[in-house]
C-alpha cells in the first residue's frame, strides 16, 4: 500500500489531472479550436476518464485552467500584433 494519506493522494491526482487539462488545452490551441470547443473537449475527456468511479470535485477547476491558457495565448497574440503595428514600416505614406 501507499504510504501517503488520502489527502496527499487526492492532491497528487488533482495536480496530475489539471496538468493534463493544460496540455490538452495547448494542443487544442495549436489545432485552432475555439475556446468553447476546447472547454467541451477537455471536460468531456475528463468526464469519460472518471465515469466509472465518479468525478472528483476538483474537476470544476478545469474551466479556470482552460480559460487561463486561452487568455494567456490571446494576450501573446495581441502583443505580437501590436508590436508588428508599431514597427514603423508599411502603410504610412502610401
Residue 55 lies in a domain: yes
The number of distinct structural domains making up the chain is 1
Q: What is the pLDDT of residue 72?
A: 95
Q: Kindly give the parts of the chain with pLDDT less than 70.
A: 1-3, 84-94
Residue 90 lies in a domain: no
Range of the domain at 52: 9-81
- DSSP readout, 20-41? HHHHHHHHHHHTT--HHHHHHH
**CB 42, CB 66: distance < 8 Å:** yes
Alpha-carbon span 13 to 28, nearest angstrom: 22
Q: What is the pLDDT of residue 82?
A: 77
Residue 89 lies in a domain: no
Residue 88 lies in a domain: no
Amino acid at each position: 500500500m501507499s504510504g501517503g494519506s488520502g489527502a496527499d493522494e487526492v492532491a497528487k491526482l488533482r495536480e496530475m489531472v489539471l496538468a493534463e487539462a493544460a496540455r490538452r488545452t495547448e494542443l487544442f490551441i495549436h489545432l485552432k479550436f475555439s475556446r468553447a470547443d476546447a472547454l467541451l473537449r477537455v471536460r468531456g475527456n475528463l468526464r469519460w476518464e472518471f465515469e466509472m468511479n465518479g468525478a472528483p470535485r476538483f474537476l470544476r477547476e478545469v474551466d479556470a485552467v482552460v480559460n487561463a491558457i486561452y487568455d494567456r495565448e490571446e494576450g501573446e497574440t495581441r502583443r505580437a500584433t501590436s508590436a508588428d503595428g508599431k514597427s514603423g514600416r508599411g502603410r504610412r505614406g502610401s
